[in-house]
Chains A and B, each alone.
Chain A
Amino acid sequence: MRRNEFALTMPSFLWLAVFFIIPSALIILISFRGSDSYGVLLPVWTVKAYQSLAGMHLMPVILRTVRLSLYTTVICLLLAVPAAYGMSRMSRRMQNILLLILVVPFWTNFLIRIYAWKVLLHPDGFIKHCLVWAGFLDQGATLLYTEGAVLLVLVYTYLPFALLPLYSAAGNFDFTLLDAGRDLGSSTLQLVTRVYLPGIRQGIINAVLVVFIPAMGSYIIPEIVGGPSSEMLGNKIARYVFVDRNIPRAGALSGFLILMILLPSLVSLVNRDSLAKGRKELVQT
């Protein structure tokens, strides 16, 4: 039985090994190489790429990347947690319809959807006109090429990914627990914080992972709807590759980004293990 289960995981494992782990390792490896001004890799080992990162004034970009990713995650959760609850309480039929609606945008190419936002947010675009007409904006204000635009499109892009794990967690949640909580005297707020949110905890963790990590690596969204003042790390990496022709430096920044994402994930993984272990000990004593 054990061997069978292992065999079942092998294809995905191999796929990830060949197309993710090895390339990532190569990128890290390249980051320790030197290169000439034409972008040709030199056969020397050096940490010059990392040293040069220090001089690139990356701090604002790093902070912006983390900030935008955090905001995206929080906003997605704030929108998706109630939506997932609401969806899971509807009739089966309605749930299926909503799930379908949720998937429909994916039938349109991602790039096209981002460009559509560019049209919407354009100074002569629909949204701008509406907001000016309603008196929220001056004629001279800009929507496109701002951090706000990037955040808006990030949320737009990742909301479905946050909704799915939360919806699935809500579907597995035993709603009589809410009856029990209310029966024992909880207010609605207490029900949410003490019963419901802990109950869908794993869904929240998954939602955070599937939103925060890709958001950290965003490239195309800030590239299209963002301006020079709303660049994220992904744009910097692309710039090092395509404009500066400095592949080791791009590799160094990629490595840094991977580290930033991996560390919190590892910490949470270790935490979960120790939690499970603690529980087991409790049973044994």
Chain B
Amino acid sequence: MKDFLVFEGISKSFGDVEVIKDLNLSIEQGEVFSLLGPSGCGKTTLLRICGGFEEPDAGRVLLNGRDILSLPSHKRPVNTVFQNYALFPHMTVSENITFGLKVSRRGMSAGEIRKELDRALDLIQMKDYAGSRPAELSGGQKQRVAIARAVINKPQLLLLDEPLAALDLKLRQKMLLELDQIHDEVGITFLFVTHDQGEAMSLSDRIAVMNMGRIEQVGTPSQVYESPKSSFSAAFIGDTNFFDCRVHSLSEDGQYSLLDIDGLPPARCYNDQKHQAGEHINLSLRPEKIRISRTRPSENEGLNVFRGVVEEKSYLGAFSKYWVRCGEWLIVVLDAHRHFLLDRNPPEWEDEVWLSWHQDDGFMLLKYREQDEALLTNPDDKFARMEQDTQPGMLVDQDGDEA
């Protein structure tokens, strides 16, 4: 069951922009696997390579041990749900859904096609809309038709290219649940591309965080969030506070290190990646892992304590978000409202507060690469060019052969 879909040493450039760099990835059968990253990170290109719409410059894609790169798109046991759904506007819902069965020359009788259609319409609960055209459907309905159209061919692998991006928030959440149900029912492997961490986290069995054509980290949603392996992962998924610091010294067993942070008291942190004394690193600290209080927390082994002043606060119902000034650092803290808030006298603007966090909750990560910085601050314009270079829908295959 292991290694159902394998990307081996995939590289791809558009012009002089290297979109994917020697990428290796392995996906298991039946799982929902997400490629998560900012626009321009190469995730859509990777999906298009898998679907047969792009050819990599180097590398192999193995599906069940078979190299599928030599197969033209229409012969791969892979179907795609496109970002804008790409429903055929001149066909009804039924015609759209059965398109794949009709063109693939499988010799299915009209009766068999009818049966498959009924089953698909049941799956997406759209029996009443069989005769409608795409223009008459809502976004969520189009989405469902696109999924039905893709799964009716019984692919071994379903590719979903930002399938929820065009829906509004409420609908997106509903469709997320439906997608999950459909996945349970049809049981095929989902390869899901998204830039929305919420989608990726709630739907996926595993996530690959992509950046600059490389994979930063692969893991379950909780692994990726709770234990980021790179500054990029930590910053892209969820919010985090970064502190520039230097490793002062390691504890005797090497498990913990003492960190020098400019303007803050030294902090002890779990040394996951075994950094050495003297190294400059980023300390990543999630806002919800920090406790905020008006009184000094009781001395406790393993607790780091900073002092600061509330500079900004916003009340968000389930929790409050604080921006606390500690020397040169502005630290973001999330405080969950576990108890009735109004008689608890929460910290307010200009209040002096204590921030505390446990030594196991911080992460020592390598410094950003330079490009990461640009990407995180301004993801869109730098990579707009790359997106344009991916051309959809060629009548003639890229290599010029008539398929």
Q: Which residues of A contact B (CB under 8 A)?
A: 85, 89, 174-188, 190-192, 194-196, 198-199, 201, 279, 282-283
Contact = CB atoms under 8 A, between A and B. Distances in A.
Given A89-B394, A175-B393, A178-B392, A187 B79 contact: no
A9 B64 CA distance: 63
Given A176-B392, A176-B393, A185 B104 contact: yes
Contacts of B83: 176
A86 to B, nearest CB: 10
A182 B104 contact: no
Contacts of A195: 88
B346 interface: no
Interface in B50-70: 51-53
B403 A187 contact: yes
Contacts of A177: 86, 88, 393
Contacts of A196: 395
B103 A183 contact: no
B82 A188 contact: no
Nearest to B152: A184
Given A184-B149, A199-B89, A179 B74 contact: no
Interface stretch (B129-137, B167-175, B206-214, B234-242): B129-137
Contacts of A179: 51, 53, 73, 80, 82, 86, 392-393
Contacts of A185: 74-75, 100, 103-104, 153
B330 to A, nearest CB: 43
Nearest to B79: A183
Contacts of A182: 52-53, 72-74, 393, 403
B128 to A, nearest CB: 9
Interface in B165-214: none
Interface of B: 51-53, 72-75, 78-80, 82-84, 86-90, 99-100, 103-104, 131-133, 136, 149-150, 153, 391-396, 402-403
Contacts of B79: 183-184
17 contacts: A85-B395, A89-B394, A175-B391, A176-B82, A179-B73, A179-B86, A180-B393, A181-B99, A181-B103, A182-B73, A184-B74, A185-B103, A185-B153, A187-B403, A190-B103, A282-B131, A283-B132
A180 B73 CA distance: 10
A125 B73 CA distance: 51
Contacts of B53: 179, 182-183
Given A177-B86, A177-B88, A180-B82, A188 B395 contact: yes
Contacts of B104: 184-185
Contact of A176 (B84, B103, B153): B84
Q: Main SS of the interface on chain A?
A: helix
Contacts of B395: 85, 178, 188, 191-192, 196
A184 B151 CA distance: 10
A119 B109 CA distance: 60
B84 A174 contact: yes
B89 A183 contact: no
A183 B79 CA distance: 6
A177 B394 CA distance: 10
B392 A186 contact: no
Nearest to A279: B133
A188 B402 contact: yes
B52 to A, nearest CB: 8
Chain B CB within 10 A, most for which of A174, A175, A177, A185: A185
A178 B90 CA distance: 13
Nearest to A192: B395
A201 B402 CA distance: 23
Given A199-B89, A282-B133, 19 more contacts: A176-B83, A177-B88, A178-B394, A182-B73, A182-B74, A182-B393, A183-B79, A183-B80, A184-B79, A184-B104, A184-B149, A184-B153, A185-B75, A185-B103, A188-B395, A191-B395, A199-B88, A282-B136, A283-B132
B50 to A, nearest CB: 11
B396 A188 contact: yes
Contacts of A194: 99, 103
B338 to A, nearest CB: 47
- Interchain residue pairs A-B with the least CB separation, the first 4: A178-B393, A175-B393, A185-B104, A184-B100
B89 to A, nearest CB: 7
B144 to A, nearest CB: 15
A176 B133 contact: no
A186 B393 contact: no
Given A199-B90, A201-B90, A187 B133 contact: no
A196 B78 CA distance: 22
Contacts of B99: 181, 184, 186, 194
A115 B73 CA distance: 51
A250 to B, nearest CB: 44
Contacts of B396: 188
A73 B403 CA distance: 29
Contacts of B392: 175-176, 178-179
A198 B394 CA distance: 16
Contacts of B72: 182
B308 to A, nearest CB: 51
Contacts of A198: 88, 90
B103 A174 contact: no
B208 to A, nearest CB: 22
B103 A186 contact: yes
A201 B149 CA distance: 23
Contact of A187 (B74, B80, B87, B391): B74
A15 B403 CA distance: 52
Nearest to B131: A282
A145 B87 CA distance: 51
Contacts of A178: 392-395
B403 A174 contact: no
